[in-house]
Amino acid sequence: MAQSTIKVEIKRQPTPDAPSVTEKFEIPYRPGMNITSLLGEIALNPVDVSGRATTPVTYDSNCLEEICGSCAMLINGKARMACSALVDKLDQPITLAPLSKFPVVRDLAVDRSVLFENLKKVKAWVPIDGSYDLGAGPRQAPQIQEQRYPLSNCISCTICMEVCPQFNDVTNFVGAATIAQAKLFNMDPSGSVLKEERLRALAGDGGIQECGFAQNCVQACPKQLPLTEAISDMGRDVFIQQVKDLFAR
Note the residues at the interface with ligand SF4 (CB under 6 A).
Answer: 154-160, 176-177, 180, 221-223, 225, 227
**Residue in 7, 9, 64, 190 binding ligand FES, rule: CB under 6 A:** 64
219 phi and psi, to 5 degrees? -80, -30
Query: Would you say 68 or 193 has its CB closer to ligand FES?
Result: 68
133: exposed, middle or buried (Cβ count in 10 Å: 0-12, 13-18, 19+): exposed
| Closer Cβ to ligand SF4, 95 or 158, answer by number | 158
State the number of binding residues for ligand FES (CB under 6 A): 13
Partner in contact with 154, chosen from ligand FES, ligand SF4, none, beta carbon below 5 to 8 Å by kind: ligand SF4
Closest CA to 69 of 147, 145, 160, 175: 160
| Cα atoms found within 13 Å of the Cα of residue 230, Cβ hemisphere only | 28
Provide the 3-class DSSP secondary structure of residue 34.
strand
Cα separation, 75 vs 90, whole angstroms: 9
Q: By CB under 6 A, is residue 61 in contact with ligand FES?
A: yes
Cβ closest to ligand FES, residue 222 vs residue 235: 222
Query: Using CB distances below 5 to 8 A depending on partner kind, what does residue 43 bind out of ligand SF4, ligand FES, none?
Result: none
Query: What gap in Å lies between CA 22 and CA 50, rounded to an integer?
Result: 13
**Segment lying near ligand FES (by CB under 6 A), choices 25-33, 60-68, 90-98, 201-209:** 60-68
Q: Going by DSSP bridges, is the β-strand pair 5-12/72-75 parallel, antiparallel, or unpaired? A: unpaired
- 156 lines the binding site for ligand FES (CB under 6 A): no
Torsion of CA 175, 60, 149, 221, to 10 degrees: 50
Pick 94 or 157: Cβ nearer ligand SF4? 157
The footprint of ligand FES (CB under 6 A) covers 61-64, 66-71, 81-83
